[in-house]
Structure 1
Amino acid sequence: MLNDAILIAGPTASGKSALALRLALEVGGAIINADSMQVYDMLRVLSARPGADDLGRVPHHLYGHVSPSVAYSTGAWLDDVSRLLDTDVLKDRRPIFVGGTGLYFRALLDGIAPTPPVPEPVRIRWRKRLADEGPEALHSLLSERDAVAAAAIGSTDGQRITRALEVHDATGKALSAWQNETTEPLLSREDCTCIVLEPERSFVVDRIERRFDSMVADGALEEVAALLALDLAASLPAMKAIGVPELAAYLRSECTLEQAVTRAKTATRRYSKRQATWFRHQLDDRWLRLPMGRHTNSAEDLIALIKNNLK
């Protein structure tokens, strides 16, 4: 179990990656991705992965290592982290986990309910049923098989509904029953430095606007075109990454580029707001909350605050 890790959470476009890089240079750190979209190898631009210059300055791990054809999960990420910790790549390096996926941080600190792998034929069968019957019909079926899981999952959340049905089908055991068991945490909460960025709303909105324009200029359309060429199921997480459905609609001549960009920016703002709400209510008082904005802490101030609070 690691005892000196640094965790940096925050909403999209809050400057997490840049802060993690500066901190890693100060403390001799290695950066580990904790963002569920930055794991996909074909989403370099749209997921705002660190660029080649940053990757060359500090070791980065678990970025762009997953095919978009894979429905990557929190459990899969935790397994990848565990394997990483079993190697020597972090020797003499302080691990810095950075990202916006709250469930990844929760899994690191609290463990996760283990669920067995689902055979591909079972997965394909339920994905087909989702496409044919729709999420509401499968949610009704889930209510009969696993009422506890159904109560916790929205009736339109096709991915989580089919996941629960797949697990029940493959194991004969309800997902809610599996979730009553948890693995041993990889990190000791008491011995980690946990930080959550709380940027001013106007600060984030402005960064979202400018960042998505840069994404389009840097090849986001080409990235989505290459992704569409794979003819993947629309239900896969990579196909639902913000910017993919919106730019795909433009590439199919269903809207103008201006409309697609506007919709993607709106989706990003909404996602950022949901993230901020989750972090505000789900992370306890052991997390150091750092305000950010035009008139708050500078990058130097943030680094000094973090270094003063390192465990």
Structure 2
Amino acid sequence: MGVDLGRERILVTGGAGFVGSHLIDRLIGKGHDVVCVDNLLTGSKRNIDHLHGEPRFEFMRHDVTFPLYIEVDRIFNLACPASPVQYQRDPVATTKTSVHGAINMLGLAKRLKCTILQASTSEVYGDAQVHPQTEDYWGNVNPLGPRACYDEGKRCAETLFFDYRRQYGLDIKVARIFNTYGPRMQINDGRVVSTFVVQALRGEDLTVFGDGRQTRSFCYVDDLVEGLVSLAETPDGVTGPINLGNPVENTMLELADLVLALTGSRSRLVFQPLPEDDPRQRRPDISRAQSTLGWTPGVPLAEGLKRTIDYFDTLLSAGSPDIAEPEIRAVS
């Protein structure tokens, strides 16, 4: 059951990113004032260009690994590279963003005595040995592998959030986000949906890692944003962690076939070795989100993919200057 927040001034870190920009749209639509903070390392001004001139929107270029002094009523901490290509490019910076960023945003929330929501990730479960993943599962993470900068960074951030709760009584919310897709994904982020869609639209071979039977559960971005807002609006004491994702599980081969059918592409599938520490199965148990938030994703995969395909088709047709060749390294 949500609480009536009234009009608030809300800080969204990582607000120029894929999920962050959609969240900002939703918050402004609810009548809030929003301050978007982003260092634009992986975020894009294109994602927030439509908000130029919006009186309830403010952009601040800032790196959350440094302290931020600002007055707000609520914080959504989304700042961190989120795809394997992005977070493995500078793993030290990724860990710093998760850990130092959490410390700085928690310190700000403590000073302001305001609620703070952490965008955590299903990657805290690692290559899970429990399926589907429930929030009380501690995970199976390789702390020395190439994905550890993100996996362990997010796990440490969760630790900090709950320690601030125990030590200072801070009102925290922790959302564990599973694979999310939709418009405003980066064209070269290496995620499987964007990679398959772009390759199909260009008539290129679709790169499938492993045998293609590994699974993911794909949540459309609008559904995810509703989950984040619903969690943020819960009373103090509802901390999470709460899984937010789509419980419908698909193999990579099923996803590839659907993308080919929706794009009408004649692209072939080519297979490459599975990247190190790439999880074999990923599906959330969302019982807690359903009972606590009344939240269930509603956009079917085919419908969400159509919207995503339209977005990338428009982007490719426009020949945007920041389009680069996809860097195909991992499927996540």
TM-score (norm 1): 0.34
Richer in strand (by share): 2
Higher RCO (CA < 8 A, seq sep 6+):
1
Q: Rg bigger for which structure?
A: 1
